[in-house]
């Protein structure tokens, strides 16, 4: 008798929302006046404050990962990415510049990239 292979595919709904959409929102909030905006509040407190918030979110993400709490990890990752983009904005770095740095590494392994940093 022919055996039947069962393949279970978990379907995750695709969102059209991208990290670039969030970066655009952050740009718009940065350009706007002093109306109520958490982003505006963070940027007004300066890059060092934004860096501190990013660090806090990084620690919260680490804790969620170590605890193996999937939903918590996703939520903290979303906070982390938001605060990462605000930090880049505070220091005048474009997301595209980070992507370009990643793009340069696409043809080398992580081990090669690590070695290229030494010396």
Closest distance of CB 88 from ligand PRT, Å: 14
Report how far residue 28's alpha carbon sits from residue 94's, in angstroms, rounded to the nearest whole number: 14
Closest distance of CB 32 from ligand PRT, Å: 9
Closest distance of CB 59 from ligand PRT, Å: 11
The candidate with the shortest Cα–Cα distance to 86, out of 15, 29, 18, is 29
The residue among 7 and 66 lying less far from ligand PRT, judged by its C-beta, is 66
Under the rule (CB under 6 A), what is the footprint of ligand PRT? 22, 25, 29, 37-40, 56, 78-79, 82
Cα-to-chain-centroid distance, residue 87: 11
Indicate the residue whose CB is closest to ligand PRT.
39
Cβ neighbours of residue 119 under 8 Å, at least 6 residues apart?
none
The residue among 24 and 97 lying less far from ligand PRT, judged by its C-beta, is 24
Number of H helices and E strands in the chain, helices first, is 6, 0
């Amino acid at each position: 008798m022919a055996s039947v292979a069962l393949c279970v595919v978990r379907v995750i709904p695709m969102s059209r929302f991208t990290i670039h959409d969030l970066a655009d929102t952050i740009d718009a909030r940065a350009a706007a006046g002093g109306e109520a905006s958490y982003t505006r509040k963070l940027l007004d407190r300066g890059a060092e404050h934004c860096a501190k918030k990013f660090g806090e979110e990084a620690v919260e993400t680490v804790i969620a990962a170590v605890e193996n709490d999937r939903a918590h990890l996703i939520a903290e990752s979303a906070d982390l990415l938001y605060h990462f983009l605000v930090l880049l904005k505070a220091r005048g770095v474009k997301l595209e510049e980070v992507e370009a740095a990643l793009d340069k590494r696409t043809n080398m392994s992580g081990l090669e990239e690590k070695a290229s940093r030494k010396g």
